[in-house]
Amino acid sequence: MTTETAHDTTHQSANVEPVEHGMSTRGYIVIALILAAITALEVSTYYVDFGPLFLPSLLIMMVIKFVMVVSYFMHLKFDNKLFSWLFYTGLFLAVGVYITALATFQFFLR
């Protein structure tokens, strides 16, 4: 990042902690741009009729955004797998349990 230039860079770099995850500032910005683009696409479903693709496309875009933030911004992709296990356990448990619960409201007679 260019912010370092004005400082004593040698001193700085000597003190840099080992950065375990290899994303550069540029990388983060690219990810953010992709996320922004997907958001724009999501919003477009409000204006343009996607027909039968409406629901699946929205859900897929949501999942992509979610995974991207978790993997890159939260470093889960680069970090120890244990973190992923803990977080995704909670996530999938939540998804599974609540979808099952909501589904029970559907059965029987509509």
- Where along the sequence are the contacts to other proteins (CB under 8 A)? 1-7, 12, 15-17, 19, 23, 25, 28-29, 31-32, 35-36, 39, 42-43, 45-46, 55, 58-59, 61-62, 65-66, 69-70, 72-74, 80, 82-83, 86-87, 89-91, 93-98, 100-110
Closest to 91 (Cα-Cα) out of 109, 69, 108, 58: 69
Q: Where are the alpha helices (DSSP H) in 48-68?
A: 54-68
CB of 28 to other proteins, least distance (A): 5
| Contact criterion met (CB below 8 Å) for 68 and 31 | yes
